[in-house]
Amino acid sequence: MRDPLRRPIRPIRPVGLALLTLASGVLLAGCGPKPAPSPGAAAYQDYCAICHGSRALGDGPIAPELEVPPPDLTLISTRNGGVFPLRAVADTVYGFSGKHEADLMPEFSPLLDGPDVSVPRADGGEEVMPMRLAEVVTYLESLQRP
């Protein structure tokens, strides 16, 4: 006599097996080592996070002590009509006349020197800048939010 509380065991169909395989792959994906941060993310943490914060929100550990509050770097595009101003950001990070004297930001150009690379702009053009600077600027571009 069959037990009324037990359901019959059905074989796993191919679709069910595929879903089970996918689910176990997703679960296991979080178990491996985390990828190393990009060179731009690492440089950002080394040079920028103390003022701008680890998430670039303008809330770094020394931000309250600064005369001019550091801006939220995740809103650069928003403040520029939805376009990331690649050259202006690069100039601000790397250095421009008067920046250092006005005590707005430390001088990073010696730290970010190196071979030049081309960085694509949203309008299809490109900007040429030192590779380490390009890494930081493209990292900042990746952080933009609406």
Chain segment 94-140, per-residue pLDDT in tens: 876 555 555 678 878 888 888 999 999 888 999 999 999 999 999 99
- The predicted pLDDT at position 20 comes to 43
Task: Report, in angstroms and rounded to the nearest whole number, the Rg of the chain calculated over CA atoms.
Answer: 24
Domain 39-142, CATH: 1.10.760
Q: pTM for the complete prediction?
A: 0.72
Residue 70 pLDDT greater than 60, yes or no:
yes
User: Averaged over 55-68, what is the pLDDT?
Assistant: 95
Res. 19 pLDDT band, cuts 50 70 90: very low
Domain ranges of the chain: 39-142
Neighbour tally for 75: CB within 10 Å:
16
